[in-house]
Every structure is written in C-alpha cells, then in structure tokens.
Chain A
Amino acid sequence: MHAEGRLCISPCLVRLKLSVVNISPDREAVYTSKLELRRPELEEIMPVYRVLTKDGTAFSPEVEPQLEKDHVLKMFKTMVMLNTMDRIMYESQRQGRISFYMTNYGEEACQIGSASALNPDDFIYGQYREAGVLMWRGMTLEQMIDQLYSNVGDCDKGRQMPVHYGSRDLHFSTISSPLATQIPVSVGSAYSFKLSRNGRVVVCYFGEGAASEGDAFTALNFAATLDCPIIFICRNNGYAISTPVREQYRGDGIVSRAPALGIVGVRVDGNDLFAMYNVTKAARHLCINESRPVLIEAMTYRVGHHSTSDDSSVYRSVDEVNYWDKSNNPILRVRNYLVRKEWLTEEEEKQIRADCRKQVMTVFGISEAKKKPNPALMFSDVYDTMPPRLHRQMLATKEHVDRHTDAYPLNAFEPFNTSAVD
C-alpha cells in the first residue's frame, strides 16, 4: 500500500511545475511559444567512427585496439578464408552443384571485427550474411560446407536452404529466412539472460533493409523499455537486393532511430576491422554494466550480388562496385596494416591465400561426396515427439517410395529408415 501511495504522489508533484510537460517519469519538456516544424535534414548527421585509414594506417596509436600480432593475423586469416569460401561456393552454385548461395564480399571486417570483440558464449542471432561470425567462433569448413550441400553433416538435417547455419555449441541461433523476425526474439533471449544474471549479452545482426520491418522497430522499443543487455548490429551496405537506401529510409540512416527510442547508438566504418572491434567492445561493456541496449550502425558496401538468384549489374554501376572492391576493401585495409607493421610479407600473404584455397577445395570434395540425410528426417522435430497422424504420413511416404523406387533419387540419400526417427 505504501509503495502504491508513493507512485501516486510523484506525477502530482510534477504537474505542479507549470513550466514543463511530463513526457515520461524521467523526461520533461519545456513549453515554447516559438512555432517550429522540425526538419530532420537540419539536424547534425551522426559521424562515422574510424580507426584505420583506407591504406591501413591508424589515425593515432591511442585509437588502435592494441591487439597482439597473432590475434590480428587470425582475424586477417579468417577474413581471407571467408572470402575464399565465398568465391568457391559461389562458383559451385553457378555450376549447379548447390542450390543457392549468398556471399559476404565487402562485409568481412564488419563480421570478424564485431565477433572478435565478444565473449565466446555471448549469444548471437543473425540474418544470413554473418558466416564470418561463425567462422571466427570455430565452425569448421566441413560443418559449413555440409550445410551448403544439405548432406548428412548438415546442422539443419537437410531442411533449410544453404547459408542457414546454426550451432548450439557456438551459441549461434539457426538462421531463418523471414527478415527481422530474429530481432524481437533476440531481445527475449537478452531478457532471459538478465533474469539469470549470467553476465552474457545477446548480439543481433540485421541489414538496413530488414530494419524497415515492423519487427525491427518493436524489438528496439522492447529492448529499451525492458532494459535488455543486447547489442544490435545493423549492416548498412547500401542495398536491400535492388532497393537503394534512398528508397529504404529518409532519416539519418538506422542509428538515428536509437536516440528516438532511448537507446545508446554509434555509427562506425564497417570496413574498418579495428573500428568494428573497438565499438563492439565498448558496446558490450556498456551493455553489461548498465543492462541497456546499444545500436551499432556499421557503414559498409555489399560488393557481391545479393544472392546467386540476383544480377546486381541491372541496378547499379560497375564503377561503384569497383570502388568498394578495389579502393575500400576491408581485407586489403587489414593487409596493408599488417604489412606496415611488418607482421606480414607478400610471400606469407600468398601462402595464406593458397592454404585457404586448398583447404576449401579439399572440404568441398569431401562434402560433395557425402550422402543426403535419411528421408525420414523430413518428419521428425516438428514437435518434440512425432504425433500419430504424422507418424502415419511418414509410414505412408515410405511405403509409397518403396513401391516406386525408380521414380525417386534414393541413391543420393542415406537409407529411408523410419525407425531411426521414432
């Protein structure tokens, strides 16, 4: 009763102050007689935080994250490996060996820089262009390429399209295609972490196009009002398939939405590995210590096509793509940094690239040779146990296939074994 009484008094007191309007318990606005329609284009545009110049020089020693040589080399190697896997798997799709692929060209620093600033058990929700995060965390090439081939090693048991990775061990929630749906889900996970006081944060990646979904707005608002320890990382790469940002939003990008919702925000050069690292590190610190969300907008550029089902030359110029690929390339920037530091020679770089290629080609061959999973796996995991009706459908499918073995590609699959999924 006492507590309720106190709650009642507070707004009454505020109302007594006639010069202000109570917007919320911790915000008040003053009255003004000056009529002003606020034009957002006159507001200051949020600057882009950067550590390295395009040629790989740090602006000052103080802003460098002071990472060990081995750590930076590992970051570089992971970026090169991601880029190598992208090239080979993209070609593999062109040859019809896998059904679909999405490259990460141009966004390698955004992924590796942020991933390396997190704790290994911080929980991650992604969109689909974050394979580098998984790679940094230790997902093996074989696990990744098995997923692309939907073979027996596929973490999704052959049920989802390629690039829909997930790993329980690596604390990375399985990717799904519907855009932005993971954002409110990630906020719920962050709240769960807060309740259990486990010292972990949740990180949620999404593109600037997905940020237009209702789920994105509502998730940011939930994270703010429910004080969740979560870092939102928006990869603003200029395009949502063929839609340029001019047709996606008219405000100051995505980060300007953070203050509107009471969220801490920062804009960063997403092609700058160290800037991504520093920003994510600081965001994590704030997020944990104050249990409140942070929104990072990483400015980058989607150098590749949206996916293997898209030809981006139809809607943007080759010059534009070339500028980002050749002059503002996140991998080259790190390479220049490493060379300048004398942590990498041209010879070593060549060797790294050759090693990556060899590893990917080896795994590629192994994964391609593996069988597809037991067709009975089409029926399991819909529920924790299989309902009788679904069980009958499984048996009917098996019985049908057994009568028409020539009509189905059974050789490509493990034996159709219904008892294995009961």
Chain B
Amino acid sequence: MYSVSFVQGQDRVFNTPLSEQGIVGFAIGLAASGTVAIAEIQFADYIFPAFDQIVNEAAKFRYRSGNLFDCGRLTIRAPVGAVGHGAIYHSQSPEGFFAHVPGIKVVFPRGPVQAKGLLLACAEDPNPCIFFEPKILYRAAQEEVPLKHYTIPLGTAEVVREGNDVTLIAWGTQVHVMLDTAAAAAELGVSCEVIDLRTIVPWDEETIYKSVRKTGRCVIAHEAPLSSGFGAELSASIQENCFLNLEAPIVRVAGADTPFPHIFEVFYLPDRLRCLDAIKHVVNF
C-alpha cells in the first residue's frame, strides 16, 4: 500500500501535531498566503477547539481587512453525524453552530457523487468552506462516480424526488431517511417532494420556497438537536416567505435536546417512523 503522502509528496500531504486549533489556524495561514489548504478534523465533534479560529479568524478574514487579505482557499473537512454507536463524541452534527457565522460556507453531501462534486467546489470556491462528510456513508454508499473533474454548485439545493402534497427537507444521511419516508407515504397516497439542501450556508431559498408554495406543507428533519438547529432558521424563513401558501404548521423532526446518547441512539434519531408521523400530522391538520 502506498500512502497518499508517498504519491503526493510529504510536503503536500502530512501529519500535524494533535491540535485542532493549530490545524485550522495553520490552514488559514496557508490559504492566506496563496496555497490551497484542505484541512481535516478527525471528527466533527472535535472541531470545537478550532471554533475560535473558524468563527473569529477564517470567517472574518476578508471582511475585517477590507478585502486586503482573505483565506478563501481554505476547506475544512470533517466526518459528521450518527454512526450507530458513536455516542456523545463520535456522532455530533454541529452545522447549526456554523450556520450562525457570516463569512463561511457549510456544505453537507448525501453520497459519493455529491461528495466529490461538492468537495471540489469547496476547494475551488474563493471563500472558506466547511465540508461535513456523513461518516456512516463512508463505506455504505456505493454508486458510479465520474473519474474526471466535475463540480456541483454551492448554494443550490436539489429536488431528489418530486411530489405535490408535502415538502420534505433534509441534508446528509437524513436525505435517505426522507426518501424512504416519502416511499412509505406514497403507499398511503401522500405525494412527497424531497429536497436535499446540500449547502447549509448560503442556503438555496428559491428552491425551498418554490416547493413549499406548491405543496403548502413542510417537514424538516435533521439529526442535530431540535432547539436552535438549522431547521429553526428554515422554518422561520419559510413561514415569513410562504405564509399565504401554508396549509399546516411547519414541523421539525430532529434529535432530542440532549447530548447524543450511546445505547439510546435508536430512540434519539429522527427515523423514518417519526418523519412519517410528522407527514401524517401536516396532511391531517
């Protein structure tokens, strides 16, 4: 087995000391001096030591310098989300924390084709990006991925299943849960439109509003805790922009407002059954 550093050269692909704040700070400096920097945080759960570097430095680098300097060549990758037995520190979905930070982009693919196209878009985007990789899909998801270079535009959601009765919004692994739920709902005669948000910030308002204006009902699901999760931002914005079209309250199905538990994971996650119940609720409202 040749390691990546053997192929690319040890000055291009290398280990750092074990320090997340160091990794992100270092990568910001690389990017600010013109090097494309792709930093990895081993688990999204361990990105918090670098929170200051991301929030106070990377995100504000361009703005505070009057565009004299920027770290747009920075991308931070981190495995994210539930994995079955990851408990408190190998399961977290921290996208909501970063969604509150002007200046960074937050991206969340749902599978291999999406992951490659969106990651290349992050690396080439002139803004600092955080790229969350759902780790439960690392080995589970298999599909044909083009070997050639291609990108998927950031800031665009994708309608992955068309429908007329309810709009279902999710990202990452949860998109697959939503697709399963939509299939189950179809058997009950409910036509669901499933949207993969893909980019958390800046998010694709147009696609979301267009869908909700058509269906009049909306269910949002994410693994992260309910309170102040990104679903809250979506729900509030949809309510402000689609008020006259809404036939039922927007429902959020999310993780509980608890740390992510070990043996209780099955009760914690917004699984297909909980999402299906939410669909029934908005349809019967």
Interfacial chain A residues near B17, Cβ < 8 Å: 218, 221-222, 225
Interfacial chain B residues near A219, Cβ < 8 Å: 22, 25-26
B72, CB-defined interface residue at 8 Å = yes
Q: Mark B6-45, 1 if CB is under 8 A from A, else 0.
A: 1000011010110101101111111111110100000000
Expressed in whole angstroms, the Cα–Cα distance for A387 and B205 within the complex equals 11
Expressed in whole angstroms, the Cα–Cα distance for A160 and B26 within the complex equals 23
Q: Distance (Å) between the CB of B17 and the closest chain A CB?
A: 5
Flag if B35 contacts A192 (CB, 8 Å): yes
Expressed in whole angstroms, the Cα–Cα distance for A218 and B22 within the complex equals 5
Interfacial chain A residues near B19, Cβ < 8 Å: 214, 218, 221-222
Number of chain A residues whose Cβ lies closer than 8 Å to a Cβ of chain B: 48
Expressed in whole angstroms, the Cα–Cα distance for A215 and B19 within the complex equals 9
Q: Distance (Å) between the CB of B37 and the closest chain A CB?
A: 7
B70, CB-defined interface residue at 8 Å = yes
Flag if A166 contacts B65 (CB, 8 Å): yes
Flag if B37 contacts A188 (CB, 8 Å): yes
Interfacial chain B residues near A191, Cβ < 8 Å: 26, 29-30, 35
Flag if B26 contacts A214 (CB, 8 Å): no
Flag if B37 contacts A164 (CB, 8 Å): no
Number of chain B residues whose Cβ lies closer than 8 Å to a Cβ of chain A: 46
Interfacial chain B residues near A154, Cβ < 8 Å: 66
Expressed in whole angstroms, the Cα–Cα distance for A123 and B33 within the complex equals 9
Among A178, A187, A192, A382, point to the contact of B62 (Cβ < 8 A): A382
Flag if A188 contacts B30 (CB, 8 Å): yes
**A188-B30, A388-B205 known; A178 vs B56 contact (CB < 8 Å):** yes
Flag if B57 contacts A176 (CB, 8 Å): yes
Chain B, range 183-229, C-beta contacts under 8 Å to A: 202, 205
A159, CB-defined interface residue at 8 Å = yes
**A173-B32, A189-B32, A192-B30 known; A184 vs B22 contact (CB < 8 Å):** yes
Among A167, A189, A221, A225, point to the contact of B30 (Cβ < 8 A): A189
Residue of B17, B22, B127 ringed by the most chain A CB atoms within 10 A: B22
Q: Distance (Å) between the CB of A250 and the closest chain B CB?
A: 23
Q: Distance (Å) between the CB of A165 and the closest chain B CB?
A: 10
Expressed in whole angstroms, the Cα–Cα distance for A175 and B1 within the complex equals 45
User: Could you list 11 examples of A-B contacts with CB < 8 Å?
Assistant: A164-B64, A166-B65, A168-B68, A181-B25, A181-B52, A184-B24, A185-B25, A192-B29, A192-B33, A192-B34, A192-B35
Q: Which residues of B contact A (CB under 8 A)?
A: 6, 11-12, 14, 16-17, 19, 21-22, 24-35, 37, 49, 52-53, 56-57, 60, 62-70, 72, 102-103, 105, 126-127, 155, 202, 205
